[in-house]
Structure 1
Amino acid sequence: MFKNYQLVIFRDHHGAYRKLRFRGWLFALMLVALAGLVAGNISLVKYYYNYKQMEHERSEWETQVQDQNAQLLSLSEKIKTLETDLTRIRGFDAKLRQMVNLDQEPRDVAPGGEAKDFDKKYLPLYRQEMLTRKLHQFLAELGNTAALERVRQQELLALLDAAGSRLATMPTTWPVAGWIVSPFGERTAPFTGKKEFNKGLDIAAPIGTPVTAPGTGLVTFAGETEDGGFGLVIDHQGGLTTAYSHLRDVTVAKGQTVSRGQIIGHVGDSGQTHGPHLHYETRLGGAPVNPMRYILE
């Protein structure tokens, strides 16, 4: 193998040629270098192929992670929306129950006695697996709560079916479109500056704004009040009455039955008043109660 070698190269068809002599060890070294070069190229090709494959897999993984994150965020928004709707339904249920004396006070609407604030409890979780577990747990709790609320709603619907006429008489709607300038409860009197108890709601609105009956009832008073203004009183049965003051006029008469939504007068500034508004009272057994107890917002 380490003998001398000759490489003959013929240059043309006239028989010209050239001889190249190689020592054996140099020829062997060239073969080894050639083999190493081929092996290196093969290794580089395999490495390049593996790199491209890993890059493709990484790109697919990043896309999958982005899709999962987008799905999780979308799911969290849906859950928050569902939770808000469920809370509103429970509040509506509680107010109806209070109105028909099924429960004395509105129930705590938070399941398990504690608020389920999704933003504070679940969104700050940084590990995807933990977030997924929390989402499934929250959905399970929400499903159980929704099932319980369906049972409660069925119970309430059965009760309301039996007392449908009673609910129709309750003052559950706003008597006028406006804004509350003085709520029910303690306040500073606008004329004397002293502390006093506001027995109803003062709802500001432009003069001439229609005032409607918030529920079916019998008009027991319609006319001029003691302070020189115009007002009326409606009896809604069961000791529940509503009163309206500072009206510009009254469009119904004493002894007349009115239905919910019927116009009974218009906003004015008659009597002792600091501007056009409706003074709206709700009384139960003669005692003033907050009208917001009956208004279904």
Structure 2
Amino acid sequence: MPAQRGFNLLVVHGDGRRIARVTLPRWLILAVLGLSLAVPASVAVIYTDYLQLRNRRASLNELTTRVAEQQEVIDTSRSKMRQIHAEIDGWRDLQARIWEPFGPEDGSAKRVTGIGGGTGPVGAAETPDRTAIGDELEQLAGIVKKEGDNLRALERFLGRATRALAALPSRWPVRGQVNSGYGIRASPWLAKSEFHSGLDIGAPVGTPVKSPAPGTVVFA
């Protein structure tokens, strides 16, 4: 049998006397050398990965904080947009109340009950979380523009109405009880109905009468 190749380790005393001799196999020496090289390399790789993971964790924490701040800004923006929508709805109600005395033909079209027609397919309602902020802002800008046009139209109409109202009497010529109103009445002279074209206001004799608007006195 061929002799196994190995390494001999001699332990020698200080005076030159040999104390012990140890024979080490070749594979054991190579294994020790390999481990002495592999262990530091593995530790270096593991430490490098640890540093990278720590940096990534710090970046992730920073990103999480930034996302939370942006979500808070988004929630605040949506809350303000809801408030603006509520304010615009208040404008619409105010416009409807202003237009109402002038009749439906003078105001803008309003949704009322009793509208017939088929029922179309109803889609799933989108939650605010699924709606983009940009789309909400664009929609809000369109609503504000439309309501602005309606307010300008109302301003023009009220300007014309103000001029018309300025030509009408704004006060009574005398303070007193209305004894006979305008329109059909029972005649105080004859036993039948008649048309009364004015207002009879009762007041003590000698009460000053002031004209509420420019005009010509035809009978007194």
| Displacement of 1:224 | 8.0
Q: Of residues 163, 168, 174 in structure 1, which corresponds to 2:161?
A: 163
Offset from partner CA, 1:134-171 (integer Å, 9 cap, x none)? x33232222222212222222221222222255689xx
Matched, 1:218 2:216: no
Q: Is the 8 A contact 2:173 2:211 kept in 1?
A: no
Instruction: Identify the residue that residue 25 of structure 1 maps to in structure 2.
Output: 27
Distance 1:20 1:166 in 2: 129
Instruction: Identify the residue that residue 134 of structure 2 maps to in structure 1.
Output: 136
| Displacement of 1:59 | 0.9
Q: Is the 8 A contact 2:7 2:23 kept in 1?
A: yes
| Displacement of 1:38 | 1.0
| Displacement of 1:7 | 7.9
Distance 2:70 2:12 in 1: 68
Identity of aligned residues (%): 15
Bigger-Rg structure (1/2): 2
Instruction: Identify the residue that residue 90 of structure 1 maps to in structure 2.
Output: 92
Q: Of residues 3, 6, 10 in structure 2, which corresponds to 1:3?
A: 6
Distance 2:45 2:172 in 1: 99
Instruction: Identify the residue that residue 46 of structure 1 maps to in structure 2.
Output: 48
Q: Is the helix fraction higher in 1 or 2?
A: 2
Distance 1:10 1:168 in 2: 131
TM-score normalised by the chain length of structure 2:
0.57
The 1:79/1:103 distance shift into structure 2, 3 A limit, reads: farther
**How do residues 245-284 of structure 1 correspond to structure 2 at under 5 angstroms?**
none
The 1:224/1:155 distance shift into structure 2, 3 A limit, reads: closer
TM-score normalised by the chain length of structure 1:
0.44
Distance 2:13 2:72 in 1: 72
Q: Is the 8 A contact 1:5 1:21 kept in 2?
A: yes
| Displacement of 1:104 | 5.8
**How do residues 163-202 of structure 1 correspond to structure 2 at under 5 angstroms?**
163-165=161-163
Q: How many residues align?
A: 168
| Displacement of 1:8 | 8.0
Q: Of residues 150, 153, 177 in structure 2, which corresponds to 1:152?
A: 150
Instruction: Identify the residue that residue 122 of structure 1 maps to in structure 2.
Output: 127
| Displacement of 1:20 | 8.0
| Displacement of 1:52 | 0.6
Q: Is the strand fraction higher in 1 or 2?
A: 1
Distance 1:69 1:95 in 2: 39
Distance 2:65 2:84 in 1: 28
Q: Of residues 58, 67, 70 in structure 2, which corresponds to 1:68?
A: 70
SS at 2:6 equivalent: coil
The 1:100/1:70 distance shift into structure 2, 3 A limit, reads: same
| Displacement of 1:106 | 7.3
Runs of 5+ consecutive residues of structure 1 not aligned to the other structure: 114-119, 170-215, 226-252, 259-297
Q: Is the 8 A contact 1:7 1:20 kept in 2?
A: yes
Distance 1:7 1:109 in 2: 108
Distance 1:32 1:257 in 2: 121
What amino acid sits opposite 1:122 in the alignment?
T
Q: Which runs of 4+ in 1 moved over 6 A?
A: 7-11, 253-258
Pairwise CA RMSD of aligned residues?
Answer: 4.4
Offset from partner CA, 1:241-283 (integer Å, 9 cap, x none)? xxxxxxxxxxxx996799xxxxxxxxxxxxxxxxxxxxxxxxx
Distance 2:62 2:75 in 1: 20
What amino acid sits opposite 1:218 in the alignment?
R
Runs of 5+ consecutive residues of structure 2 not aligned to the other structure: 116-124, 179-206, 213-220
Instruction: Identify the residue that residue 273 of structure 1 maps to in structure 2.
Output: none
| Displacement of 1:3 | 3.2
